[in-house]
Chain A
Amino acid sequence: MSVALCLIAIVAANEARDPLHARIDQHIAAGFADYAKNAAPIASDAEFLRRVYLDLSGTIPTVSEFQEFMADRSPNKREKVIDRLMNSFGYVRRMVWFFDVTLMERRPDQKVPRAAWESYLQTAIAENRPYDVLVREILSSDGSEPNTRAAAKFFLERDMEPHLVTRDLTRIFLGRNLQCAQCHDHPSVDDYSQAEYYGIQAFVSRSFLFPNARAANAVIAEKADGIVNFVSVFDKAKKQYTITPKMPGGKAFAEPNLEKGKEYKPSPASAAAPASTPPKTKPAPAAAATAPIPVYSRRALLAKAMTEPENTAFARTAVNRIWAMMLGRGLIHSPEWDHEANPPSHPELLELLTSEFVRHNHDIKWLVREIALTQTYQRSSEIPESLANRESIPADRYLVAELKPLSAEHLAYAISQAGGQTDTDRAALGPKGTEAQLDARVAPRIAPFRSTFAAPAGEPEDGFTASLHQTLFLKYGAAVRGMLATRSVQLGRLTDPTAVAEQLFISVLSRYPTADEVKDVTEALGTASDRNATLAELTWALVASAEFRFNH
């Protein structure tokens, strides 16, 4: 205990002068007795490179990117590759996946097409729009303007259904799963109260989709009246409470007194489309023109109340989700259960990250970069011999890097690369082809992986599962088989088995083969009756291996 206190004191003393990534490492080191002795060493260059590509670019390194990095002798080469990836299209690709899955949870695209939504996120990520600005847009847009309709996807695809929206606002942005506080105070989580749930719901309960939730061009409209009452199902006296909009831990908004008959803006049509807006290509003209607009909008209060610094849960949840994206585990685990009985593994670290994130203007890119630079992130996932096995290691101490299962998107992209398909794509695009054009070619191949490997619509991606369906897809599926064809042709041009083994392992597993593996490949090719077929099956074996399935 005294050791820990002493370490915390050292941490505090260093905080002022060290960059954030160094301070993160100090906090993590302080979180375990003899951390330095017990933690896994820093990952090898190859292990680091594959990880950082998957995490910051959504891809695995190409053979030439791998060789270039391995040949680089400069001491800051890891920082260099982090910066190169983060300033390339790869970072945009990866973060679009992250925000799409986090915000939309695989809901079908019924009201905002996928292309429009991805394009909206791409622009936001490419210009590194501050997280609070992004979320304010998402919670403010009513979907009636073509320029901002994509931002309304969060509400539109949830049909503006008050319970669903309340659940997802609190889960996704506040890290608080208040679902069972709908009917009563949470039975096992003391700080999740029914009042908290309905305080959030009061922001959105008057809003609805206009003309109706089934219309693909629906917009968000709002009534001027509607009171949120609730009764606990546990309360025998059935006492009824009434609540106005309120963030957890914040103050309830006072309601204005409006003159009867003047609750709505006089001409909804002109209010929805101000004179300055040219009345062209609106996707939802009929819907927007007649939707009611109240003088006092409860929903309009939400975006600010949610994102202002006083609502600390907002930045804290964002930081924790980004941390979980990079480290494979949130400081609060799981990220939607932030409450007193489930404290963060490193409370001071989470406080530090949260306050620095706010101080840096909710800068996601800065935060990701600082985390990528830490030793904590760069630790090996190989369990040191001194630690018996993974199950005996406290997972929340970050002694050994987590194995992160590749997401559906990651897996599809990585198989496209490993199988050589993206090489073919690049050749077809020519020297002027961009990464965005390459993505457009890969996109149709991602779709079957999404339907096979992603969590069901409306559920968070949570842990690793391997269903029969997924395994058969990898084992005999035509989609995967088709993606591996190019690699065997490329390898077939090499005559030396050692060269084959090296190319194969670098292009699929992003590392050099071991001597045993060179021997295996040599033997397989030596006895092969159909060399190309053998090369295809060797490629498959690497792709189907656990080493490929996880970001290790």
Chain B
Amino acid sequence: MPRCDYACASTDHAVNRRAFLGAAGAVAALGPLGFAAPGAAKQLAKQQKRVLVIFLSGGVSQLETWDPKPNTDTGGPFKAIATSVPGTHICELLPQTAKHMHQMAIVRSLNSVSNDHGIGAKIMLTGRKPEAALEYPHIGAVTAKLLGDTSGSALPGHIQILPKGGSGFGKGDAAFLGPKFGAVTLGEGKPPSDLLRPANLTVGSDAAREAFRRKLNERFAKSRKSASTDAYTESFAQAEEVVKQAEVFDVDKEDPKVADRYGRHDFGRHLLLARRLLESGVSSVKVSHSNYDTHHENFDFHIEQLAEFDQPFAALLDDLSDRGMLDSTLIVVMSEMGRTPKINDRYGRDHWSKAWSVALAGCGIKGGAVVGKTNANGTAVVDREVYSSHLFHTYLAAVGLDATKNFYPNERPVPIGDPEAEKISEILA
């Protein structure tokens, strides 16, 4: 699969620049999964809600996806096709997705303000314009904090799957919410760093050393017990639980037929992994698909990229629907920006934030709703302009949360969502 590699070097460095563990390479050297009994399938709590963000990295073209403008100067070569919602058309590059439009909503009037990859990603993920003096938490960290407490899962509440890099920890994602809600990063869909017991540590030695560690902790706690020592000792108990559930991270445990439905490529595997995580009680998952930064050959690249997106996305909606999870799982398909309606002389489209689209599905979303409108050739919003801040309120409202409430870092109020915006009611069920 060719990847476009442009001078702005966008791909993932914007989302993937955080430091990874030096030890990440060790995972590959470790033995097969021979140690852990598969975690007993947990009954999903009925009340539990989840959020999946699919991030089309580099800036997806709205014209080749949710807001086609065929037969105009900006429209490009592709047709618009009918969907399962009468009157709603999307680009022909999304034939499988079109069949699910009755479960989805589209916002076609987004102005995300910045044409910069990094800033755009931050704007979209935090629902705010960046402020030098205060970092805001990403949507995944916010929902992990606000939704995660009821799941009863030992798994981390916030996981992101990136196409490249090692596994690591995106502690900056959570900003003032604290590292507990920062994304555990699964680079290339690999399990968390150091999840697997080293081959030269036997099951027996592992158990023996854990027992000795606990004994030492009990002695220490006799005269020095504190909230911190408790948190530290509990973190080992949590790690042990997660280790027991290691198979959650292994998509090879899926029926090959299921894997075929998602597609035998990285993004297909990553979306399947996302489904496994959501099923196991992880409340916030983000999957990035790379790369849509198509400054030239926009159309060829969108054919390839969207083919990779369309099939597993439809499979995911089917699976969540079949499992009764779609009603409790919000899915957002976003990007850090859209692409220029104007086609440049290299058959490319450039960075564009003024008028583009985001798609949503599942929990709290009014199926078939379309809100906002761009003009005939997509160069301006003509109806219902919204910002990422409106979307942010909408995501939270969709999963039953109120973004007008406050967080209290350092005991001072910080509104969860930008107080100058409100939810987009037209697309909420």
Contacts and interface: CB of A to CB of B under 8 A. Distances in A.
Contacts of B234: 466
A339 to B, nearest CB: 12
Nearest to B200: A533
Given A456-B175, A546-B220, A469 B169 contact: yes
B95 interface: no
B209 A472 contact: no
A162 B132 CA distance: 8
A456 B171 contact: yes
B21 A537 contact: no
Interface in A446-475: 447-448, 450-452, 455-459, 463-473, 475
Interface residues of B, number: 68
Contact of A391 (B156, B193, B194, B227): B227
A12 interface: no
Interface in B225-250: 225-229, 231-236, 238-239, 242-243
Given A381-B224, A383-B224, A524-B208, A466 B235 contact: yes
A391 B228 CA distance: 11
Interface stretch (A3-11, A57-65, A163-171, A249-257): A163-171
A550 interface: yes
A187 B134 CA distance: 17
A180 B198 contact: no
A390 interface: yes
B239 A468 contact: yes
A334 B409 CA distance: 13
A404 B217 CA distance: 16
Given A391-B227, A465-B231, A540-B209, A545 B19 contact: no
Contacts of B228: 403, 405, 463-464, 550
A471 B235 contact: yes
A544 B213 contact: yes
Contact of B225 (A389, A472, A541): A389
Interface stretch (B179-187, B271-279, B361-369): B179-187
Contacts of B195: 472, 476
Nearest to A449: B22
Contacts of B236: 471, 475, 544
Contacts of B76: none
Interface string B347-375: 00000000000000000000000000000
Interface stretch (A222-230, A269-277, A305-313, A477-485): A477-485
Interface string A162-189: 1110110000000001011010001110
Contact of A545 (B131, B168, B169, B213): B213
Given A541-B213, A544-B236, A468 B192 contact: yes
A547 B220 contact: yes
Nearest to A383: B223
A107 to B, nearest CB: 11
A52 B225 CA distance: 21
Contact of A552 (B21, B174, B194, B224): B224
Contacts of A390: 224-227
Nearest to A542: B216
Query: What secondary structure prevails in chain A residues at the interface with B?
Result: helix
A516 B236 CA distance: 23
A448 B21 CA distance: 6
B197 A546 contact: no
Contact of A472 (B182, B206, B220, B239): B239
Nearest to A405: B228
B196 interface: yes
A549 B232 contact: yes
Interface stretch (B80-88, B326-334, B395-403, B410-418): B410-418
Contact of A448 (B22, B212, B235): B22
B45 interface: no
B234 to A, nearest CB: 7
A177 B411 CA distance: 12
A452 B192 CA distance: 13
Contacts of B407: none
Contacts of B194: 472-473, 475-478
A311 to B, nearest CB: 22
Nearest to A482: B23
User: Most B CB atoms within 10 A — which of A161, A164, A478, A538?
Assistant: A478
Given A464-B232, A533-B205, A541-B209, A471 B238 contact: yes
B133 interface: yes
A541 B220 CA distance: 13
B26 interface: yes
B46 to A, nearest CB: 26
Contact of B221 (A177, A187, A479, A546): A546
B264 interface: no
Interface in B134-192: 134-135, 156, 168-169, 171-172, 174-176, 178-180, 182, 184, 192
User: Interface centre among B131, B206, B239, by most A CB within 10 Å?
Assistant: B239
A466 B194 CA distance: 15
A259 B220 CA distance: 72
Nearest to B20: A451
A343 to B, nearest CB: 15
Contacts of A188: 411-412
A18 interface: no
Given A382-B223, A447-B22, A448-B22, A403 B169 contact: no
A520 B213 CA distance: 11
Contacts of A290: none
A355 interface: no
A403 B22 contact: no
A542 B195 CA distance: 21
Contacts of B178: 465
A478 B26 contact: yes
A473 B23 contact: yes
Nearest to B173: A456
Contact of A465 (B19, B179, B223): B179
Given A179-B133, A464-B232, A540-B209, A469 B192 contact: yes
Contacts of B242: 468, 472
Contacts of A537: 201, 205-206, 208-209, 212
B215 interface: yes
Interface of B: 19-23, 26, 131-135, 156, 168-169, 171-172, 174-176, 178-180, 182, 184, 192-198, 200-202, 205-206, 208-210, 212-213, 215-217, 219-221, 223-229, 231-236, 238-239, 242-243, 410-413
18 contacts: A390-B224, A391-B226, A403-B224, A447-B22, A451-B168, A451-B169, A458-B135, A466-B231, A466-B232, A476-B196, A534-B205, A537-B201, A537-B205, A537-B212, A540-B209, A540-B213, A546-B217, A546-B220
Sort A-B residue pairs by CB-CB distance and give the 3 closest, nearest first: A466-B235, A448-B22, A451-B19
Given A456-B174, A469-B168, A478-B26, 8 more contacts: A163-B131, A164-B133, A383-B223, A468-B156, A471-B236, A472-B193, A478-B194, A546-B220
Interface of A: 161-164, 166-167, 177, 179-180, 182, 186-188, 334, 337, 381-383, 389-391, 403, 405, 447-448, 450-452, 455-459, 463-473, 475-479, 481, 514, 516, 520, 524, 533-534, 537-538, 540-542, 544-547, 549-550, 552
